Every structure is written in C-alpha cells, then in structure tokens.
C-alpha cells in the first residue's frame, strides 16, 4: 500500500503547478480529487450533484466549488468544499499537489487539488448539494470498459475531445456517467500516475505530458480571451 502511494506521490509532485496559474483574471474554483488505496489499487472518490441544484443537477463531479474570501488558496477552497459536501475533514486529507487547471462552461478557472484519503472514509453527503458518493478504480480512466469521445472545436477553432465514461458499479447495481471537465481531470490524473498510453486518444503529447498539458490550457485560455475581446 505504501509503495503504491509513494510511487503516486513522486509522479504527482513532478506535475505540481503550485500557484503558477493563480493570478489569471478569472473567477476561481477548485475541486478535490480524493485518492484512496482499496484492494491494492488506487481509487478515486466522486460525487453526484443533487437534483435540487440549478446548475448541472444529477451530474457526476468531484467535491468542490467557487473560492470564497476566507480561502487562502485553491487548496483551502477544495478542502472547505469537500467538508461541506461530503463531511471530509481537512485534516484527514494528505494534500499532494495542484494540477494544471481547466476552464468550465461558466468560464471559471477550476484548479484540481489531489490528495490521499483513508479507504475507511465514510461520506456523509449534504443532501442540498450531493445525492450520492461512489469510488472508481483510477485505472478505469486509462483502460475503460465503456467509453465514447465527443469531438468539438472550441471558439478559436482548436479541435478538442470530450471524454465520456460509463462506469458500472456492480456492488450497488448502478451506472454512472462521467464526462466533461470531471472526466478530463480524471484522465489526466491517471496519465500522470500510471505513465502509460490509454486505450483511447487524448489531446496530449504523452512523451511531454507536462509541457503539452500546460500548452493546451494556455491555448484554451487565449481562445477565451479572444472570445471576450470579440464580444466587446
């Protein structure tokens, strides 16, 4: 168990962006990517958004949300939101790193914060925000059983690929659809930790994962700035 965690820690720290993108003039949000070791394998904890929420009800996501004035940084935001949504105490998370951010459909800058939690963690979902909590083997995001890709062009004409996974939780006899920015972060996390080629196409140079992931993000950010200019 420890050697598995140690290898993951070493890989993740190579990809830690720290506060490199923190000063970009976008509304800030963070998500926590909670990793755990279960049955000798890395697993990722995910949530299902409450059907009462106005935005994206019933969709799978990571615990997280917008930055608030009390948060020191993106890590604080992710930990605070995880506590509010699923009852995960901040001191029970071993924070490892911040990965390259993404931009959501509301044009928020979303920073993924990766941390280890104990496999004994029992979530207590806040019903106003979360309707379910489940775990997926991290390996599923490089070797899925049920995967589709949606191709689209962003505003500046860059071709992009949206990952969509269908995960069957046989223990609970339930299926979960994981797509969009959540799938994007899960795939990148799996690529970083496993360092192997997935069974599907990705928009990265796998031989230069650090620089290509940062370049992809900067292209996306530049296209957003162009779009904002043209709307003025």
Could you read off the pLDDT of 133-187 as tens digits, one per residue?
999 999 999 999 999 998 876 655 567 789 999 999 998 999 999 999 999 999 9
Domain count, the chain: 1
Is beta strand 28-38 parallel, antiparallel or unpaired with respect to 64-66? antiparallel
pLDDT digits (tens, 9 = 90+) for 178-210: 999 999 999 999 999 999 999 999 999 999 999
Is beta strand 28-38 parallel, antiparallel or unpaired with respect to 147-153? unpaired
Alpha-helix residue ranges (DSSP H) falling in the chain: 2-14, 74-86, 180-194, 209-231
- CATH code, domain carrying 70: 3.90.79.10
Distance in angstroms (rounded) separating the CA atoms of residues 213 and 56: 26
- Domain membership of residue 148 as a residue range: 4-231
pLDDT digits (tens, 9 = 90+) for 5-61: 999 999 999 999 999 999 999 999 999 999 999 999 999 999 999 988 878 878 999
- Provide CB contacts within 8 A for 38, sequence distance 6+: 119, 135
Contact 113, 29 (CB under 8 A): no
CB atoms within 10 A of CB 83: 17
Cβ burial, residue 2 (10 Å; 0-12/13-18/19+):
exposed
CA 36 vs. chain centroid, Å, equals: 15
């Amino acid at each position: 168990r420890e050697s598995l965690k140690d290898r993951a820690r070493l890989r993740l720290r190579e990809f830690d962006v720290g506060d490199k993108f923190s000063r970009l003039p976008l509304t800030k949000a963070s998500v926590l990517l909670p990793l755990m070791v279960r049955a000798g394998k890395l697993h990722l904890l995910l949530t299902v958004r409450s059907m009462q929420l106005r935005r994206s009800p019933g969709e799978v996501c990571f615990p997280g949300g917008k930055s608030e004035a009390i948060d020191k940084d993106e890590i604080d935001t992710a930990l605070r939101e995880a506590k509010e949504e699923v009852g995960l105490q901040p001191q029970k998370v071993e924070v490892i790193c911040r990965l390259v951010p993404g931009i959501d459909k509301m044009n928020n800058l979303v920073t993924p914060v990766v941390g280890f939690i104990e496999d004994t963690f029992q979530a207590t979902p806040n019903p106003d925000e979360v309707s379910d909590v489940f775990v997926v083997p991290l390996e599923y995001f490089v070797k899925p059983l049920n995967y589709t890709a949606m191709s689209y062009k962003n505003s500046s004409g860059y071709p992009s690929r949206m990952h969509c996974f269908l995960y069957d939780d046989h223990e609970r006899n339930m299926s979960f659809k994981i797509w969009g920015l959540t799938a994007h972060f899960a795939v990148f996390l799996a690529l970083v930790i496993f360092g192997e080629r997935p069974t599907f196409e990705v928009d990265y140079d796998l031989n230069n994962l650090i620089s290509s992931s940062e370049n992809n993000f900067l292209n996306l950010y530049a296209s957003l700035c162009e779009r904002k200019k043209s709307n003025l």
